[in-house]
Structure 1
Amino acid sequence: MKPNITNTEVNIKSLIDLSRKEEIWLPEFQRPFVWDKNQVRLLIDSLYRGYTISSILIWKGGDELARRAVGARVKDIKIPEDRPEDVVYLLDGQQRTTALTLAFTKKPIFKGNNSKKKEKLNLYWDSHYTGDDAELKWVFDDERIENEENPQEPFMLKELSEEELFKKFNTRFVKIKHAFHFESKIVEDWFNKDNAEERAKMFQFQYEYSQKLKELENTVLSRKVYDIEQKGSLEQVLEVFERINTKNTKLSIFDIMVAKTYRKFDQGFFDLRSYYKIIKFNGRVDKDYFVNIEALDLDTVTLPVEDSDMLQLSMIILNKKFKGSEILKLNTEQLMQNTKLLHDKFTKVIQYMDQNFNVEVTELRRYNPILKFLAGAISHFDTIDVKQNEFLKSYFWNTLLKNRYPGAQSERIAKDYDLLVDDRTTLPQKLKRMINDNTRNLTYLENNSIDNLNLFDAHYSNRSQQIYRGMLLLLKSKNAKDFYNGFTPLKDVTNENKLEEHHIFPKKSELGKNISSKYEKHKYDDIINNIANIALITNETNNKRISSRLPSDYITDFENQYIEANKYDEFLEIMDSQFISKEMIEMLKKDQFEEFMIARTTLLYQQIEELCSIKN
């Protein structure tokens, strides 16, 4: 039977069912699923609160577009056969539909261009939580939760079976997949049904849990999906799709604040867009907004920090508040009175990120949660002394590499800030309490061998990973120098010194292909792209001096040139800056891939533990 989605009242549950049964299709020109976990969480929360999530745009046509199922791999394309049969195409709303399918079903979902790793997530509703923070109401099973019985030992839901969850928390945590499908009989094995008291507890649990599932069904799954059917030919549909993806502007909180703060003064008009160009201006600014409007060439401002993020940083610097709703309390007068202060504090935050962590301005947006805390901390400290600096650096590496903020987590950032400004504890004590929130444990890397291979879950093939980006900063932490010329490669340049992420064992070489083939069915099937096989070198060296040459060839060549120039110690310093020891150089000269990967992983892990340690 063909799906009947058009001209009907479809709810979220039926949309998910259509997706699960592969009765709606994504045209091949749709980008792959890219939402992160926090976006999925906020979508569920929006539905729960009754917020609009916009309509979906569908088109019912013939079998004339290459397409894939919702959540399918990019390469899993159904080739059109130009038949007149009805096919329902989802033109707009695929990220939302895929996110809902991922959250509520067990259907395999692939993210981005990754054709091997399926996305998995289990989201729970903390039905006892009464606050406004979505990131505490909706909890993923791999997130740390405060342990009320022992605050020093936070835990994760995935550490407990469903039966253990019940015994410990009764019906507090509700698995949202159960709202879509739940067999109540599975709980019967948790009780001794021959015992009347136990049987009564079972019935009570089933009733209370079903009531909560019913609440989720009523508030989320029963919400109407307002579908819009696009009529017309394929050519008309493609034009519509292009327009909604490139020219449609959605109202944001920044748009609201532009209207809210727009004012007329004797000297002219206050405009928030111009204001943030002043704040982002690279140079000295005046405290008077209108003087800056006249004196500065604001067309030269290109700093890639979103104005919506600038609003959040302004709220933190001026009011020490972290919830997004607090932005609406900012007003024109307050902003104008603090023009120079905001500019100077923001500049200081940027400089701090660059000087201490090698975060270039083009990459700032990737570290938004950390940026928020640092903006508050730098605004709190008049000047940063040595101990405060060590604290902030350890905070940074723990948060980034050990995943203290799985999402934006404004409430947790606010909690960190409150702890920071509490005079009753020392900086090491503050850091120790913060580290309890780490959700990534790397101790499995301590025992490493060819027979028991353990690597970082950070891969060039998935460069958007937080852990991969963090590991790149780790590589930069020793001022990584180019293998050949010793220059420090930079991302934000256009010449031959531009930074490139180089595969030390090139994946396109014969050896690289053999390695990929060897590990095809291994748990590290993407080992050739692992961060332990990545170095930061210049475009010139990567393309003109290495290309697909093996380490035994190019490392030996570079080493010999430094020896002939009587600069062998300089060569060793260059390799050390890339976390490659003298012993590892010998491994490279023999193309010993596994031995090198283990040794470099160990060295990187040791550096992480040093950077994340608590310094008294």
Structure 2
Amino acid sequence: MSAKFGHHPWTVEELVSGVDKGTIRLPDIQRPFVWPNAKVRDLIDSMYRGYPVGELMFWANKDGEHTKAIGGNAKTQDASMQVVDGQQRLTSLYAVLKGLEVWREDYSREAIKLAFNPMTGRFEVPTAVIERQSDWIADIGDVFAGQISARRNYLTRLKADPKHTVDADTEDAIELAIQRLADLRNYTFQVVQIKEEVERETVADIFVRINSEGVNLSSADFILTWMSVFWEEGRTELEVWARNSRFTPAEVVSILNEPTKWTPQNPYMTFEPGQILRVAIAVGLRRAKLQDAYNVLRGRDPRTRVIDPARRTTELARLKTGQAHATKNLHWDEFLKVLERAGFRTKDMITSENTVLYSYALWIIGRIDFKVPVDELREVMARWFFMSQITGRYTSSPETRMQEDLNRLEGVNPTPDEFIKVLSGQIAAAVPEDWWRVTLPENLNTSSTGAPAYVGYIAALNILDAEVLLATSKIKDWINPLRRTVKGIEKHHLFPKDYLKSVLGLTDNKKINQVANFALVEWSDNITISNQPPTAYWPQEVSAKNIEEVRRVRQEEWHALPEGWINLDYEEFLQQRRHLMAKVIHEGYKRLFDPNYEPDLTRPASPSTPAATTLPTFEYLVTSGVIPPGTLLTPVDPEGTGTIAEVMEDGYIKVGDHLCETVDRAAKEDHAESGSGWDYWQAHFDGEDEVVTLSDLRERPVV
């Protein structure tokens, strides 16, 4: 077999000249962005010291259809060499030596500048401090642009600085250092040149193999490389889509000077090319596993592993169809209405970008292949997205799960009713009745405000058009990507942090910051509430806001506040609120079936909240003198623990070193496994032989 390549030496001067003239070109099988400046510094430093910096690889091919110029400028000559490997090094060298501005990943333009100290031989990325120091050349590009003037300017500046003494030996050393820097033009790279007759797919395969060494390329990278060979316009379209997802049309015109009337910018996510590719493949090839899609696109027979060009052509045509739908303006704009309908308003509410991508793919399939009317499709897909987000459907093994969802649509009669039937069946299977009652409350047992269940709760509040707690503004108006404000609503600790720490003695932040302890309030309220206990601040806030009772009760239902919550033990409060939050989520979900649905958010009476006429609070028993401060309490059934608790003047119970605000909390502090604290404790009164359980004292008439 004849060799497919040869080795040839190229100096930096020849490389830069080739890029400048356009004879060396960059094929679109490469990532488009240069290294960080620090990595460019390391490259120049290694070359200055005479270290090897790796080979370059070119393809001796004069086909200009699949190439673009490094730096994006028009060139004067046809390409004869296309860069296969080493684009980052070559672009960096060219930018430094020629003072070229390059695109950064955020699509800003920047000239790569490196500073050099001739006295020490050090290179650094220039800072304001370095630029002020006379012993540094702030930009080595000045040396390559004009070595004599750069040396003269440097020496003039250095000699004028009283901190430095420049004698003849120093000046000679500086001369040698600057000359050595300028001589980097003669640094020689070994270039592996692939011969012209080598096929494009082989070149792409070489590129993938080279870049797989030490770098974990994804299946999306493989497919994008393949597209660069066989459908470059499609690869470019994906890159433009991903880039434009970061900008408004006006920003694209301003930054890139490209006429643009529409971009896929949205409040939920910015794209990478591989992500919109994932949608195109799901729609066009009906595949979620990109590794399988890669093999199919190459036309490889799964049994013989032989490439079939006819099969490759067929699969490419399917990909083109899928991508045309995935990048269509109207499809994307209509799909965004699905997310808004589902109660999701901002990027912070998206816990899985795969859920966005796969839901979008299913939306396109429903619209194009099953001809579901837009209004009906929006409703079923809103339910699908809501379900997928709160259950984390595409969080674990997302490709496998999506492939299962795609398979369920295979062979189905392509009618709107059948599409809705298939998706509705999966939704019902994912969230049966016991899931709402058992699993969802348990999923809310978390301190992560990014947990799918908690985000689902916020989405449900948006769906239900809920108001901010003790305010008249709507939550969905505050959670608005278009709203410009210094502060909006905040997650307020219903049981304040300092109160939980200093009074209840909690030290576990995960327990303190449970999502069931958060409520959405206006930021000014959060400051006012500070660290007061609920029994102190809540009546004050209710009175100060002067919100009519019907409206306030409705807000308490939206915000899942248990009846009499301010008197509950903290653990009991969390437990009850999780179930009420789950109920709010469920009711929001039900409204996705009917926009006019009236949710049932009625709250059960709290079993831990006593009726004041017959079951007074412990605090009341203390302040009324029934249980004097200083009274000692012991467990009714001590089981040998010998615990002695003491009643304090403010109605708290001191157990060991901890102050407990309720009898239930005091019992738990003494490691009671279950049951009521009123039955757990018994009181010992001074001068009396009688020992009475607190539950008995509570039921006695108060004189």
- The TM-score bracket by the shorter chain reads 0.3 to 0.5
Higher normalized contact order (CA 8 Å, seq sep 6+, divided by chain length): 1
Tell me the TM-score normalised to structure 2 length. 0.40
Tell me the TM-score normalised to structure 1 length. 0.45
